[in-house]
Structure 1
Amino acid sequence: MTAPARHDTQTDHHADNPTVLDVDGLSVEVRTISGTLRAVNDVSFQARRGETLALLGESGCGKSMTATALVGLLEPVADVVAGTATLSGRSEQTDLLSADRKKRRAMAGTELAIVFQDALTALNPLYTVGTQLAEPFRIHKGLSAKAAKVKAVELMARVGIPQPETRLNSYPHQFSGGMRQRLLIAMAVALNPSVLIADEPTTALDVTVQAQIMALLRDLRTEFDMAVVLITHDLALVAEEADRVAVMYAGNVIETGTVAEVFADPKHPYTKGLLNSVPVNARRGDGLQSIGGSPPDLHDIPEGCVYQERCPLARDICVTTRPTLDHVGEQRKAACHFPEEVTPRTRGGKSEDV
């Protein structure tokens, strides 16, 4: 298995950058008709200025729930039950999970921003894009309507909207999907936030537009020295765009590290299974590899390892004892009892994957 190619070198250029978002032990429970379930369990990761951290995993693994918990947009049936999320802003440190409504409102856009995957739903169809882009400047900066409009035009031009002066009075439905996504990104970075969460920002866009959107995010990350948290299930996108990755499964982070190291030498069987599922160098007629079974029911998470029912390395200890996210290298962690056995073994000159 060959990992998707990266666009930069194999070193972590942002290793010395300051941590701007430190999530420690985040847990979220959701009340359902069938009982309360743990949708996010003891999740920990760090995001640094000027880097992109990817939250990677299958649909339903808790990526978006983690994001909505951080920005305070959980549904009424969901509650943060444990953990801290420390945002080191330009003036002070704040625990996002304990901040009150007034504090969150003050930080929205100025320190923490989010880009949702459905731009048409995220934008208000009743207001022109100019009105919506100008709003952050009027609320947080106290600018006049005229001055805020000038800022809105500058933003539209910055994210590549053609003829911004004339399109300022257009409504969201009058823009293409790619242009709407650019508008969302413009609104998110309007006030130069410290952290930008991008939740599946290229969903439903064609490949060319996806590349343009990701190039825009890269440029803005560098320009504003932001930390970008990229939520995705696209392995190729992570390989191309992210510096570090946190792999999630059944609400848990099961492996973290630089993208180059994790993709080249995974230390968790689930990460290995994801990488094996990518049809690299596949030929017509070849069978596609997949991870057998399905994720566990969140109402009935097993006592031991959350991946035990699908894992080719599972043993008795995996059934009885939950592995912790421990160091397996200088900048790497994995929640597996047998991380060294995940790496392909060699027999007779041929590699054999787990």
Structure 2
Amino acid sequence: MTKRLCIHGLVVAGLLASVAVPASAADTITVASWGGTYQEAETKAFFDPTAKDLGVTIKQDTTNGLDDVRLQVTGNAVKWDITELGADECARGSKEGLFEKLDYNVIDKSGINPKLVHDDWVGISYTSVVLIYRTDVFGDKGPKTWADFWDVQKFPGRRALSGSQATETLSVAALAKGIPIDKVYPVDIDGALQSVDKVKGHIDAWWTSGAQAMQLVKDGEVDMASIWNGRAGTLKKSGAPVSFSFDQGVLTADCMVIPKGSKNKDLAMKALAKFVSPDLQANLPLYVDNGPANEKAFETGKIPPERIKDINSAPENVKKQVLQDPAFWRDTLVEATEKFNNLIQQ
């Protein structure tokens, strides 16, 4: 997804490789992810340890998302053995038949939310949409819920929401109506659009990238915003006067797939099994703020206790959030996005 590229930036495609020993083509797989600091973290957390454990070479590339996979598969020119996608993309690509079936005799799916375990794709990590506000404007009495964010009388100030991620903004719009976190899905799209319409006139910026959202808050151009937790964490660590929590956050997942036609399907299956294992999943939050998809990662003892409270997919934080349902957006995304775009552009 373009979203992840906005979060993490790009690396030079094809230059990275996790090498255990000199390997033949049969002992080499290519993995594509989002680039930047996120892929660097995955290299340390997943790719290097897997290459060492399996005695293989893992070459790396970067992806722009589902369109890239579709192009390779339909053109009979598959060059990736594993690629990362947003979970909604995985759901849509599965419907199109773009992925190989996964062997759950090889891949241990225990510890991964069933919504992220499917015949041909599996969850790998989480990002959260959270509400952030500037403490130099509100002190410690800033907006804590999306209903607060929508309440322009009680919490006057400049606001920003995502204009590029309809699924996320419609989810928080549903929460703003007072819908409990366990009742948000299936989203009442028309009701959520009505909720967006109520606050639309008070939105000073519709951000289209994680970098833009962070800059708006950092520069004080807005006083409150929806933002991805990694960007929020970066702001807080930099000393910016901000506050956020995972209360009413929206958990969005990334997944991994084996594109249909991979020439190294069996080896890719073994590598993917390593990537989603609790031991390697526990490595990820040591390098970035994306949470592990396998909750058993928190039982390994590898993640320091003081770090766990800041990880979006830690069990206590998951309870506070809405987990996006990829299957729901598989069938509704196109129409919902069109309606959302039309609304915010009016």
- The structure where helix makes up a greater share of residues is 2
TM-score scaled by structure 1? Answer: 0.25
TM-score scaled by structure 2? Answer: 0.26
Whose Rg is larger?
Answer: 1
- The structure where strand makes up a greater share of residues is 1
Higher relative contact order (CA 8 A, sep 6+): 2
